[in-house]
Amino acid sequence: MTDSYQIMLRILLAAVLSGIVGFERELHGRAAGLRTTILVGVGSCLIMLTSMHLFELYKGLTTVDPGRIAAQVVSGIGFLGAGTILRFRASVRGLTTAAALWAVAGIGLAVGCGFFAPALISTSVIIIVLISLSRLENRIRRDVYKILKVEAKGGIEQLCSIRKVLADYQIEIKDMDIEKSPQENKFILSVQLKLSTDRLSSQVIETMSGLTGVTLVKWS
């Protein structure tokens, strides 16, 4: 087992490398910021050091796998990462932060076993990905998938009018579901749409709200 100086160095290095990743997340106001990532990194480092210590302590007396305890960090960190993921309507936020926590755990494990060079390189790559690629992603034109709900009185004429609006905006219909109410002479239409840009959302609502027979239009 390494001496006390090496142990202290590894724990401090794990804190520094984890803190670099956490600082970037903190700047963007994410749920898992500076403190959380440092705790994950230091904790992972400690678990790896403990695994190595147990291996040295019981070597020759019993079969001890130093990677078994450390492996539980990889699966266990998933529960912490799940807490950073938020689902709001049709969007999901926090996946990058959850992945960053998982990567920080890997950094801590690498530092704990003295794998310094890969830990430093991985930290650099993670920071480059979080900072540089986020700017690139913002420039990429993405399709937007949304569900539109429309309540209208009438029948086939109103349905055709709704579809014409979508066609005019060149919006692709991916799926459609209709609930009819013959007694009240109305229907509820749920349409999954593929939009070329999110800026069309308000325009679609405004146009459809002006159609004859339409009583409610909303995104869900």
Q: Are 162 and 54 members of one domain?
A: no
Q: Are 19 and 81 members of one domain?
A: yes
Neighbours of 155 (CB within 10 A): 14
Q: Looking at 98, 120, 139, which one is the last position of a domain?
A: 139
Q: Are 15 and 119 members of one domain?
A: yes
Q: Are 72 and 109 members of one domain?
A: yes
Residue 151 sits at φ, ψ, to 5 deg, of -110, 130
pLDDT value at position 12?
A: 92
Please give the residue range of the domain that contains residue 155. 144-219
Q: Are 155 and 132 members of one domain?
A: no
Q: Are 103 and 162 members of one domain?
A: no
Q: Are 69 and 172 members of one domain?
A: no
Q: Are 124 and 53 members of one domain?
A: yes
pLDDT value at position 16?
A: 93
Query: Strand 144-153 vs strand 86-88: parallel, antiparallel, or unpaired?
Result: unpaired
Running DSSP on this structure, what letter comes out for residue 154?
S
Per the document, the length of the chain is 220
- CATH code for the domain of 208: 3.30.70.260
The tally of domains found in the chain comes to 2
Q: Are 118 and 205 members of one domain?
A: no
Q: Looking at 139, 174, 189, which one is the last position of a domain?
A: 139
Running DSSP on this structure, what letter comes out for residue 197?
-
The ranges of the chain with pLDDT < 50 are: 1
Count how many Cα atoms sit within 13 Å of the Cα of residue 104 in the half-sphere of its side chain: 36
Cα angle 90, 92, 96; round to 5: 160
Q: Are 10 and 52 members of one domain?
A: yes
Q: Looking at 139, 172, 206, which one is the last position of a domain?
A: 139
